Amino acid sequence: MRILFAISFLNVITAFQVLSLTSLTDETAAGRILNGISVVIGEFPYVVAIKVEGKFRCGGFIYNERWVVTAASCVNGFQNVLDRVTVEAGIVSLQSPELSQQLIRIESFHLYDSYNESLTGPLHDLALIQTRLPFTFNSEVNFSYYDETSGEVATFVGWGVAEAIEDGGSYSNELRKATLTINSNICQSSYAGSYQNAYMICTGDTQSPCHYDEGSPLVQNGYVVGVMSRNNGCDATGTVVPTIYTRLSVYYNWMVAIAGIQPVPSLVQMNRSLSEPYLQGM
């Protein structure tokens, strides 16, 4: 069943109050996409950077003209700093934004109703961000579609480093992508008791997202299927890093209820079986 979906949103870690508004150091920012390759402008026009006072915090993607999708673990803690949070679209460079840049302040954000940050990791790690002004859609800035697809190959997109800092790698300010393998078994083994395949997607590769990649999209065949939630850090030694993503299709009803429809309405009727966590609110 195909569910078209547009996406963009805000991404910050729950340690935001500890990090406060200070800039990221080499140690705290260590390794976002490890071993990824650079993205060209317009290749993923729905990906956005979430910033606080101009400092990058996490990723997200455009849902429609006024809403962005990200991880709840990224925006939890923004309550008192809304006027200092911006969403930046139409860029691949964090340091030298392109002419296509659209920088918009946020109006509000909504954590998923049953979001739970437990000792074993977040559950229902999803949030929506409302912008003060609408995005202007063009070839560099656009909403994304989402779908529940099959297959084992996916692409992750986010800002980060090409190599681990401990191996002498320098930080990259460029948007990067990496090809990953979907494998639920590796997360069921690595995150025993906390990985729930009905609500989550798992990848396991030597290429991996890392800290501050939370909220960025996992893509299959041009469709966003997941939102990066967590892993146990990246590794440059060839070790496979299991990474958990929130499975978007499960939350379709909730997103429509909060943010409305997308510019191109879904071809599929809202299906309660795909949105079990939100049944309590329907």
Residue from 225, 138, 237 nearest 182 by CA? 225
Q: Is residue 17 classed exposed, middle or buried when 0-12, 13-18 and 19+ CB atoms within 10 A define those classes?
A: exposed
Residue at 135 is within a domain: yes
Handedness of CA 271, 277, 279, 282 (dihedral sign): negative
Judge whether residue 151 has pLDDT over 90.
no
Mark whether 234 and 160 lie in a shared domain.
yes
CB 233 within 8 A of CB 166: no
27 found inside a domain: no
Give residue 52's domain range: 16-22+45-144+249-268
Does the residue 274 lie in any domain? no
Tell me the pLDDT tens digit for each residue of 176-230: 999 999 999 999 988 888 899 999 999 988 777 877 789 999 999 999 999 999 9
Asked if 253 and 115 sit in the same domain, the reply is: yes
Number of domains in the chain: 2
Distance of alpha carbon 251 from alpha carbon 198, whole angstroms: 11
Is the pTM of the predicted complex or chain greater than 0.85? no
With vertex at residue 257, the alpha carbon angle to CA 254 and CA 261, rounded to the nearest 5 degrees, is: 105
Within a domain: 34: no
Distance of CA 183 to the CA centre of its chain: 19
Write the single-letter amino acid at 65: E
Lowest mean pLDDT among 4-8, 161-165, 176-180, 264-268: 4-8
Q: Are residues 256 and 135 in the same domain?
A: yes
Task: Say whether pLDDT at 9 is over 60.
Answer: no
- Bridge partners (DSSP) of residue 178 are 156
Q: Which two tokens stand for residue 243?
A: 């990474």
183: domain CATH number is 2.40.10.10
8 Å CB contact between 182 and 243 = no
Q: How far apart are CA 1 and CA 183, in angstroms?
A: 21
